[in-house]
Structure 1
Amino acid sequence: MATTVLGLTGAPPATAAPAAPAPVTQAEVPANVTAGIAVFDRTTGTFTERLNENMKFRSASVVKLLIALDFLQSHDPRTMPAADRARLDSMLRSSEDNVASKYWIDGGQTAIVTRMVKLLGLTATDPPPSGMEGYWGYVSLSAADTVRIYRYILETSTAPVRDYIMGNLRQSTRCGTDGFDQQFGIPASFEKPRAVKQGWSGFGDTSNCAPKPTPTIPNLAAKQEAPRAAERAAEDVNLDREALHTTGTVGPNDRSIVAVFTLHNDGTPFGTAYTAVNRITRSLNVPGAVRPAGTWFGTWGPGVNVRPLPTTANDRITTLPAGVEVLVSCQKEGQKVTVPPYENTWWAYLPQYGGYMTNIYISSPGNQLPGVSVCTS
């Protein structure tokens, strides 16, 4: 604590207001993207990245951390009913909206925010705008407050609550129950150990992911995307631009807490935003992180499948967001694929997805990818 030097009159001398902390970042933020970023190293107790860390964003599904925490204030994870456990597992791992809506309603909607702000000492977290109280995804959050949420879970909450929430986030599924791909940001940029809670809003019904986890509460949730006219009525938090967020922990013992919140121009495709968030996340200084080996390439075309072997004869693992960048670790020859006027027998292995895609849909000249080795198995 600083010591105040008193003048002869006993009053403190006039001083200028302390300047706000300067941004500390090496983040590479693409043009037309607004980002709020915070990376906190729990080993040193310092931030290694800060950029617009107190800026408020609509939380999308990141608020599910608060919904779960609020419920677990009065329910011991070790003894809570099996139905609640199954629902919360799905909400935390696969971002199920129906479950969030149930516990949002049961918890009193905006009362959840009030309780959590007080309990966790949050400073840039607000309930949805007036008249939109049912839209839990419109709770505002900042990157700095998200660090506070994870620090509370890891350092202050009871061991059963900590282990339950973090255990689920470590089992984040590739696909959300709404069919969106959750593999962007932290899971695309860093090897395990990691724990992840993602958020997305405004991309419409452009789900691409398969297989989809089965929702535990069919047809319960109110639609979480308000009409555009209502969205534009908000003033302090942008509810109009597409939002894509990646949050979680990275490294042994959850060493680094990472929070990347982003807004994209209205109409931005999901694959374009996905790639932008990946680029931002890869550029960050994240102590304890291990980055996967390979080379990043752009892709083209919608509905590009990832398969367990280099052939179309087996079922797809998933379908890539249109135009997304992918990490390639090696390539091998397999079934010839023809997409007039192109044909190609080479397939790229994508370690993040555990499967192959045909090289036809990779934006690179030639059938083989330059600088990429041949798979040995």
Structure 2
Amino acid sequence: MLDHRTQLAVPHRRNRRGAVWVGAVAVLVTAAALVTSFLLVRSPDGDTGEVAANASARAIVVFDRTTGRTVRGDNAAARFRSASLVKLLIALDLLDRGVVTPARPSPRMSRMLAYSDDGIAQQLWDSGGGGQIVTRMAQALGLHDTRPPTVDRRWGDTRISADDMVTLYRHVCGLPADRRALILDPLRGAARVAADGTDQFFGIPSALHEPWAVKQGWAAGQGGVDAHTSGLVGTGDRYVVVVLTHAPEGSSLSAATATLTAITATLAPLLK
């Protein structure tokens, strides 16, 4: 998803060699990424709140499902523009309302997740009630930081936090196997090239070992550039990994995704 431009159909393919180039990216980018100033807007009651549009910001959560412990948590409650991560909420809402079931799967929903297809997301967003999808799922899943967009049709402007994304993935993992597969199969088969032509194998797919199931997010405009990686990593989907980043206006998407990949690569030692 890039500023809500719609899709270019591409073949479904998966590249398992992303880790080859991540070392070079990490060498060039990690130092800069880790010394960046990460600024957040804080409310009087101490709530971390919204990421400021003119700031550089990141949030990281790594949750170990085997031990039930958070092994890394930075700025976990900060609210970022969701970009395409909201497509997970759209999909879960379809399951929750019984529109999509194991007996009645949805190829459109699967494509939306695997190819991050904006056109399908817009259709499903509109038919599901727009921002009401976010409100329903935030209540159903107990998401404390998630907010619907101010402009209802701009689904990518939904606000989310790394903590809430971890809650979402834990919820998915707790679904019955046939319902869980409706979400995770497309995430395991994520296409390298998204429907809008973007290479979406930044972050987890390039920086961390497989197996993985991922949903990525990216957006430019409206005050900055957002690049996010999220998903399940490791045998048995042991770890939930979420890295959210925001860069100020004028930053390039390619630089933002390279920085995100370098940050994600530093998490590898935690995944043991």
| TM-score class, shorter | 0.7 to 0.9
In the TM superposition, what is the alpha-carbon distance from 1:39 to its structure 2 partner?
0.7
CA displacement, residues 269-310 of structure 1 (integer Å, 9 cap, x when unaligned): 122111100111011256546xxxxxxxxxxxxxxxxxxxxx
Residue 144 of structure 1: aligned partner: 163
Residue 81 of structure 2: aligned partner: 58
Alignment of 1:65-144 (within 5 A): 65-73=88-96, 74-80=98-104, 85-129=106-150, 132-144=151-163
Give distance in 2, aligned partners of 1:94 and 1:274. 17
Give distance in 1, aligned partners of 2:103 and 2:257. 38
Give distance in 2, aligned partners of 1:168 and 1:188. 18
Name the structure, 1 or 2, with higher relative contact order (CA <8 Å, separation 6+).
Answer: 2
Residue 275 (1) aligns with residue 258 (2): yes
In the TM superposition, what is the alpha-carbon distance from 1:160 to its structure 2 partner?
1.8
Q: Which amino acid aligns with 1:282?
A: A
Alignment of 1:288-327 (within 5 A): 288=271
Contact 1:256 1:286 survives alignment (8 Å): no
CA displacement, residues 256-281 of structure 1 (integer Å, 9 cap, x when unaligned): 00111100121111221111001110
From the two aligned structures, give the one with the greater helix fraction. 2
Q: Which amino acid aligns with 2:136?
A: R
Q: Count the aligned residue pairs.
A: 221
Residue 60 of structure 2: aligned partner: 37
Give distance in 2, aligned partners of 1:75 and 1:133. 21
Which of these residues, 251, 261, 265, is aligned with residue 248 of structure 2?
265
Which of these residues, 170, 176, 181, is aligned with residue 199 of structure 2?
181
% identical aligned pairs: 40
Q: 1:128 to 1:76 in 2, by over 3 A?
A: closer
Please give the TM-score of this superposition, normalised by the length of structure 1: 0.57
Give distance in 1, aligned partners of 2:213 and 2:82. 18
Larger-Rg structure? 1
Contact 1:36 1:55 survives alignment (8 Å): yes
Give distance in 2, aligned partners of 1:274 and 1:260. 11
Residue 21 of structure 2: aligned partner: none
Q: Which amino acid aligns with 1:244?
A: A
- State the Cα RMSD in Å: 1.5
Q: Secondary structure at the match of 2:34?
A: coil
Contact 2:208 2:268 survives alignment (8 Å): no
Query: Which consecutive residues of structure 1, in runs of 5 or more, have no partner in the other structure?
Result: 1-27, 203-224, 226-230, 232-239, 290-377
Give distance in 1, aligned partners of 2:268 and 2:62. 8
Please give the TM-score of this superposition, normalised by the length of structure 2: 0.78
Query: Which consecutive residues of structure 2, in runs of 5 or more, have no partner in the other structure?
Result: 1-32, 38-55
CA displacement, residues 7-54 of structure 1 (integer Å, 9 cap, x when unaligned): xxxxxxxxxxxxxxxxxxxxx635253101111000111111111000
